[in-house]
Amino acid sequence: MSKADEVIETIDDGDFSKVDALIQESIAQDDDQTQFSLAETLMSRGLSFQAKTVYDHLLTMYPTEGQILSRLAEISVSDGDTDQALSYISQITPDSSAYAENLLVSADIYQSQGLYEVSEQKLLSGIREFPDEEVFKFALAEVYFDENKFSKALTYYDMLLDMGIKNYSGISIVLRKASSLAGDGQYEEAIDVYEDLNAIELNEDAQFQLGFLYNQVKNYNKSISILEKLLETNRDYPTAYSILAEDYLNIKKNSDAFKYAQLGLNLNELDDNLYQIAFDAGTAEDPTGAIKILEKGIKTVENPLPLVIKLSDYYVTKGQFKSNLDLLNGRDISNNPKLVWNLAKSEFETDDVKKAQENILLVLDDFKDNLDYLSDLIEILRSTGNNDVLKPAIQLYLKQDPDNEEMHNLLDQI
């Protein structure tokens, strides 16, 4: 029995105390091919540290051997030492039997560093030089997929499917194609691919994606059917609740929308979209309760600004200007023109005309083409008697609505 065999036998017995010593004995006594086989076995079992010991020894005798350099590069990548990995890779020449592996490993390294263009070029070289190796087509499709370059990814996923390859390295090429179609905005085509999947392929994530796609093409009833079936098997699929609640809101079934929004918030109280849907669904039947939900969301979510805007708009629309002032009091809204406008309108309606004028003028550039804003601006400026600004404000309004007799009369009066 070789020392390499003893190493593996000892590992199989679960005794790691002698492994390092036996590896050294193998290096001293076994022939080079046996040592290489030992290193490969150790590598396949995830014992890269021990494998590296053997590869390092072999490299001293075969400094240009591509397979050894490639394995050491893989180990360096797993250790997070990309510089060392690239150093090994750079020594592998195109005439080496390990050159194809070299291109793959180097592409993986560059991709991990966010250097997608370099990774892409390595894989394109692999496709040109090794046209029968599907691994390069798969790897390039994955690079494009990770970059959200879905149309390019589709080209290579379709190549693999044309070759009869539906799964690669545990990844469904069919699902990747469906996701790429969806990402490329080809929703109907993506739906067709999902609908052709068998029961095993149509896993929970695929069911969610299909439900989401039907939502995107406004087939809300179909989306509801799929997502409710998903939740029958897994009530703890949080993202399904948001889409379901939105579906019901869109078909005017507010009670169902409110129910699913509440259920979703029980699983994920940080989902700001669910707070908005719950508010929209609840305001018709229970405005006070809906407001409380939105107020809770404002206190809970990481970025409450969209919820603040929604509640502020509601208060202004309903004429609850004091409530809006209380909501915005103490908040930094300087970077949100809509809230500044809402603040100015509320100040005006509560007789703080001076502040109203100051604030509404701050966002003139943002809303100078908005007739509702210009109407509020003109009303405030008339109250303050600021005719120097009122006249150009009316002129801005008339550019948008040149036939407005009331504004023409007001301009004539000035």
DSSP category for residue 97: T
Hey, what are 375's tokens?
């109407």
> What is the SS3 assignment for 83-94?
HHHHHHHCCCCC
Examine residue 246 and state whether it is found in any structural domain, yes or no: yes
Query: Quick one: 397 and 309 in the same domain?
Result: yes
User: Residue 28: its pLDDT value, please?
Assistant: 86
Q: Are 230 and 258 in a shared domain?
A: yes
- Same domain as 344, residue 283: no
User: Are 279 and 267 a contacting pair, CB within 8 Å?
Assistant: no
- Residue 179 domain flag: no
Residue where a domain terminates, one of 298, 323, 356: 298
Is the residue at 121 inside a domain? no
Domain assignment present for residue 308? The answer is yes
Is-contact 254 247, C-beta < 8 A?
Answer: no
Domain boundary among 241, 268, 298: 298
Q: Which domain holds residue 359?
A: 304-414
Statement to judge: residues 291 and 222 lie in one domain = yes
My answer on whether 293 and 232 are in the same domain is yes
What CATH number is given to the structural domain containing 233? 1.25.40.10
* Whether 359 and 275 share a structural domain: no
Answer whether residue 50 is part of any domain.
Answer: no
pLDDT at site 100: 77
Number of domain units in the chain: 2
Tens-level pLDDT at each residue, the chain (414 residues) = 787 887 788 887 777 778 788 788 888 888 989 888 888 888 888 888 888 888 888 888 888 787 888 888 888 878 888 788 778 777 777 777 667 777 888 887 777 777 888 888 888 888 888 888 899 899 999 999 988 999 999 999 999 999 999 989 889 999 999 999 999 999 999 999 999 887 777 889 999 999 999 999 999 999 999 999 999 999 999 999 999 999 999 999 999 999 999 999 999 999 999 999 999 999 988 899 999 999 999 999 999 999 999 999 999 999 999 999 999 999 999 899 999 999 999 999 999 999 999 999 999 999 999 999 999 999 999 998 888 888 888 888 889 888 888 888 888 887
Question: Do the domain assignments include residue 80?
Answer: no
Give the pLDDT confidence score for residue 11 in this predicted structure: 82
Q: Do both 271 and 376 map to the same domain?
A: no
Between CA 203 and CA 195 the distance in angstroms is: 12
User: Do 262 and 312 lie in a common domain?
Assistant: no
Q: Based on the domain organization, do 237 and 328 belong to the same domain?
A: no
Query: In this predicted structure, what is the pLDDT of residue 241?
Result: 96
Q: Which parts of 363-403 fold into alpha helices (H)?
A: 364-367, 371-384, 387-400
Q: Check whether residue 232 and residue 332 sit in a common domain.
A: no
Domain-located, residue 345: yes
Q: Which tokens in the block code for residue 334?
A: 């300087």
Which of the listed residues 258, 274, 298 is the one where a domain comes to its end? Answer: 298
Same domain for 252 and 325, yes or no, is no
331 and 263 inside one domain: no
Q: In one letter, which amino acid is 38?
A: L
Handedness of CA 22, 27, 30, 36 (dihedral sign): positive
Distance, C-alpha 133 to centroid of its chain: 31
DSSP secondary-structure letter at 371? Answer: H
Phi first, then psi, for residue 238 (nearest 5°) are: -65, -40
Three-class secondary structure assignment of 235-292: CCCHHHHHHHHHHHHHCCCHHHHHHHHHHHHHHCCCCHHHHHHHHHHHCCCCHHHHHH
- 137 inside domain: no
